[in-house]
Amino acid sequence: MNHRTLIARASMLLFAQAFSAHVFAAGTPAELAGTVTDAQGHGVANAQVSIQDASGNTVGHTQTGSDGRFGLPGVGAGTYSATIDAKGFGSTTSIATVEAGQAPHPLNVVLKQDATLDVTVNAQRLDRARNGLLPEVGASVYRITQADIATLPQGANTPLNQVLLQAPGVANDSYGQLHVRGDHADLQYRINGIVVPEPISGFGQSFDTRIVDQVSLITGALPAQYGYRIAGVVDIRTKSGDTGNGGSIDVYGGSRQTLKTSADVFGSQGPFSYYFTGSLGVNNLGIESPTADGSPPHDHTRQGNGFGYMSYLINPLTRVSLMFGTASNQFQIPNTPNLPTQFTLDGRTSFNSADLNETQSELNNFAVLALQGTNGGALDYQVALFTRYTRTQFNPDPIGDLMFNGVASKDFHSNRANGVQADTTWRLNDTHTVRAGLMFQQEHAVFDDSVSVFATNADGGQLSDVPFTINDSSHKTGYLYSAYVQDEWKLTSQLTLNYGLRYDRMDEYVQASQLSPRIGLVYQPTNATTIHAGYSRYFTPPAFELVSNSTVSLFNGTTNQSPTSQNNPVKPERSHYFDIGVTQRLTPALTVGLDAYYKKASDLLDEGQFGSALIYTPFNYQYGHVYGLEFTTSYRQDNVSAYLNIAYSRAQGKNIESAQFNFGQDELNFIASNSVFLDHDQRVTASFGGSYTLGQTTLTADGIVGSGLRSGFANTDKLPWYAQINLGVIQHLNEPYIGKVDARLVLVNAFGRVYQLRDGSGIGVGAPQYGPQRAIYAGITKHF
């Protein structure tokens, strides 16, 4: 109770006493009774009634019945303060008097709706409506909550890509890349149901894990709502300030001179709510080491992230929200010592490769303005405007790169995307729910490369040790259009069918379109068993911001001459996708699942790193197929939780038919007549983890296992098996003066196993990378 409430209550009592002195005479105990109602006159059940005398002492406590009535017998003559509290209503204080020898007057109290709760209820109603815009019938869904993230060894300091590694069928790769179900990247990110266009690929994380309230990885045969990036949909539901006010400050650091500071704040003021977070970090292991040395030279990084979410309830059924975020990252490119030089520069023949000074910077900004509403029953909608700007700049070592590679290329790539997305849900009746929507996106990409090279003879030998510079610049505007309609049909109480059509069109480096049918089925024969199956026709445009528009002939007769001159345009991938799975709850605590999938593709998309910049370039295989099997299990009971996922995958392609200038002729010839494994193919992938809480202490662990990515000429070989286990202990404190604090100690790669993610060979693989070696970190989080 605050001081204003105490003052007001005391004033009311004094006022009553001044005009009722005679009531202090001793009298026969009586019953203080009354009724508590809402503004409409309805009785409020289970309202708490507390009675205090003129001295502030509590003399009795009761609660209302189902009709809102209450009574407190044995109350002597006097003046009393009655405080009434009820869920969903503001606290109310009234004055009651009991006179000696007389029946007390009934105390009738009218409660007012709690405005804060009213806002929260309206926000939750709109959240449910927004979630209803995103069907999942027929797809495979894996959810990770804020609580799950908090019990990972690194908690909210776990990069988002490593959080997603805990989902089934997600293979780890260098530069923070993920491969889901045998596809190269091809992930779609949504924040609160709105598509956020992907950034130029690199190794900085665009989204901070700290913003996540719940993240879902949706894979398989997706409903018609989902298009473009279809290997997996990363659907992030962000934190908000709808449920209260608070915040936190976090400091985290340890090995490799790691230091990261983060803070967030959230809250609401009437119909307005907000959530803001930001982080700044530095360390000396920004990119995977190219050698077995766990602390490579020249690998410092500085990274910063910021995110904001604001929403305003225009009325109980309508909300406008604004989201914005930024990620700014700078990386040194780690060096491999003792490499021999290959070229002579101005008479100089030696250069210490440990002293190379290559760097790369990345920036990704986005903003979304959304209007979302519901009529409270049949119709829900959301209309959003979005914008995104992303750029990457690679800065070479102007001397070292020429002497080792014969090329020193300063590469600047940028892309700006603007668009609109609209989604609607219309519940025709208890059986049919119709969803429809459209999206339009315009992109403008800029490529500005300044390339220093040497002249060569017909055999590729160096003709001169004096370099010269060739500028290769271009820009392009592209457009994407899509529309969909689908019906979720409840055939029976146990069987649901979702069917629909999606239309996609691209007008970029090529023009193409496709009408894609989708169908998904979910059957629940019992409360413990769920079976799903689906088919989807997919149309996947290449990542516009990555498609190279390089003029291949510009570099003929130089040390940057392409192995081949052919450069057919990159086309969209078209595929047929089948998925079937079952989930079984064996006990209230234990659930298992099994899922199988198959994709048959034409113009299969893949990506490779072909230049010195750590930027990927798309290309097509004429034919491709991917199939696999996933097993999942989770256990959660009381203070124990655990999970295990095991996936088998096989991904192959044949005949490279675009961007051929990146490949040698011998490799092109081999792939033209043989199906080869894709470079990101990993036969077996597993993830596991769990936590155990004893009192205020939580012990936690997670891990990944992989059979190795592909390597060698045309990916005919593979790397060895690897495993990494991380351990953590979290101490929860809630003490006087310091309040709520979480302290954690983390051991990454606890068993110190040294393993390679890449060995520098394989299709589109530029350099070797090793996984992280043993490291120890500590962190402390103060909650407000």
Q: How many residues does the chain have?
A: 784
For 216-265, give the DSSP string: EEEEES--TT--S--SEEEEEEEP-STT--EEEEEEEEETTTEEEEEEEE
389 within 8 A of 413, measured Cβ to Cβ: no
At 464, the amino acid letter reads S
Q: Give the model's pLDDT for residue 33.
A: 85
CA distance linking residue 415 with residue 549, whole number of Å: 14
Q: Give the model's pLDDT for residue 419.
A: 96
Helix (H) or strand (E) holding 9: helix 3-18
What pairs with residue 319 in β-bridges?
A: 313, 372
Q: How far is CA 753 from CA 443, 705, 722, 772, in A?
A: 44, 12, 8, 9
Helix (H) or strand (E) holding 26: none
The dihedral formed by the CA atoms of 485, 490, 491 and 496, expressed in degrees to the nearest 10: 80
CA distance linking residue 680 with residue 240, whole number of Å: 37
Residue 567 has pLDDT above 80, yes or no: yes
Residue 115 has pLDDT above 70, yes or no: no
Please name the residue that has the structure tokens 């119909």.
Answer: 271
Question: In the structure, what pLDDT confidence band is assigned to residue 128 with cuts at 50, 70 and 90?
Answer: low
Q: Give the model's pLDDT for residue 453.
A: 94
For 157-219, give the DSSP string: GS-HHHHHTTSTTEEE-GGG-EEETT-SS-EEEEETTEEEPPPPPSSS-SS-GGGEEEEEEEE
Read off the pLDDT of each residue in 704-727 and give the average, rounded to a whole number: 95
Q: Give the model's pLDDT for residue 375.
A: 82
CA distance linking residue 669 with residue 516, whole number of Å: 33
How many C-alpha atoms does 733 have within 13 Å on its Cβ side?
13
Region for residue 453 given its phi and psi (left: phi exceeds 0; alpha: psi -120 to 50; beta: otherwise): beta
Q: Give the model's pLDDT for residue 256.
A: 94
What pairs with residue 363 in β-bridges?
A: 328, 391
Residues 403-460 have pLDDT tens digits of 999 999 999 999 999 999 999 999 999 999 999 999 999 999 999 999 999 999 988 8
The token pair at 334 is 């780690």
CA distance linking residue 202 with residue 362, whole number of Å: 8
What pairs with residue 391 in β-bridges?
A: 363, 414
CA distance linking residue 172 with residue 177, whole number of Å: 7
The pTM score is 0.82
The token pair at 155 is 């908690």
Q: Give the model's pLDDT for residue 445.
A: 92
Residue 250 has pLDDT above 90, yes or no: yes
Residues 194-236 have pLDDT tens digits of 998 877 765 667 789 999 999 999 999 999 999 999 999 999 9
Q: Give the model's pLDDT for residue 88.
A: 66
CA distance linking residue 543 with residue 550, whole number of Å: 16
At 225, the amino acid letter reads Q
Q: How far is CA 451 from CA 348, 434, 550, 559, 613, in A?
A: 20, 54, 12, 10, 12
Read off the pLDDT of each residue in 132-155 and give the average, rounded to a whole number: 85
Q: Write the CB contacts of 771 (distance below 8 Å, at least 6 apart in sequence).
A: 172, 288, 722, 724, 749, 754, 755, 756, 757
How many C-alpha atoms does 124 have within 13 Å on its Cβ side?
8
Read off the pLDDT of each residue in 573-588 and give the average, rounded to a whole number: 95
- 3-state helix, strand, coil split of the chain in percent (to 5) is 10, 55, 35
Read off the pLDDT of each residue in 576-593 and give the average, rounded to a whole number: 94
Residue 339 DSSP code: P
Residues 295-332 have pLDDT tens digits of 899 999 999 999 999 999 988 888 999 999 999 999 99
Residue 148 DSSP code: H
Question: In the structure, what pLDDT confidence band is assigned to residue 21 with cuts at 50, 70 and 90?
Answer: very low
In 3D space, the residue among 447, 383, 387, 438 whose CA is nearest the CA of residue 417 turns out to be 387
CA distance linking residue 417 with residue 197, whole number of Å: 7
| 38 vs 772, residue with greater confidence | 772
- Surface-to-core class of residue 492, CB atoms within 10 Å of its CB (0-12 exposed, 13-18 middle, 19+ buried): exposed
Residue 240 has pLDDT above 50, yes or no: yes
| Least confident window among 103-107, 400-404, 558-562, 753-757 | 103-107
Q: What percent of the chain has pLDDT over 70?
A: 90
In 3D space, the residue among 723, 680, 769 whose CA is nearest the CA of residue 181 turns out to be 680
Residues 665-682 have pLDDT tens digits of 999 999 999 999 999 999
Q: What percent of the chain has pLDDT over 90?
A: 66
Helix (H) or strand (E) holding 681: none
CA distance linking residue 229 with residue 185, whole number of Å: 9
Q: Give the model's pLDDT for residue 22.
A: 37
CA distance linking residue 225 with residue 484, whole number of Å: 6
Look at strands 30-37 and 107-110 and give their pairing.
parallel
- Surface-to-core class of residue 615, CB atoms within 10 Å of its CB (0-12 exposed, 13-18 middle, 19+ buried): buried
Read off the pLDDT of each residue in 251-268 and give the average, rounded to a whole number: 96
Q: Give the model's pLDDT for residue 614.
A: 67
Q: Give the model's pLDDT for residue 14.
A: 38
In 3D space, the residue among 74, 217, 214, 71 whose CA is nearest the CA of residue 146 turns out to be 214
Q: Give the model's pLDDT for residue 126.
A: 62
What pairs with residue 361 in β-bridges?
A: 330, 393
Backbone angles phi, psi at 126, to 5 degrees: -70, -35
Q: Give the model's pLDDT for residue 20.
A: 38
CA torsion sign, 340 to 343 to 345 to 348?
positive
Q: Give the model's pLDDT for residue 545.
A: 79
Question: In the structure, what pLDDT confidence band is assigned to residue 48 with cuts at 50, 70 and 90?
Answer: confident
- Surface-to-core class of residue 429, CB atoms within 10 Å of its CB (0-12 exposed, 13-18 middle, 19+ buried): exposed
CA distance linking residue 772 with residue 774, whole number of Å: 7
Q: Give the model's pLDDT for residue 241.
A: 86
Please name the residue that has the structure tokens 């014969």.
Answer: 406
At 197, the amino acid letter reads P
Helix, strand or coil, per DSSP, at residue 739: strand
In 3D space, the residue among 178, 181, 5 whose CA is nearest the CA of residue 93 turns out to be 5
Q: Which domains does the chain have, with CATH numbers?
A: 3-112 (2.60.40.10), 125-783 (2.40.170.20)
Q: Give the model's pLDDT for residue 459.
A: 86
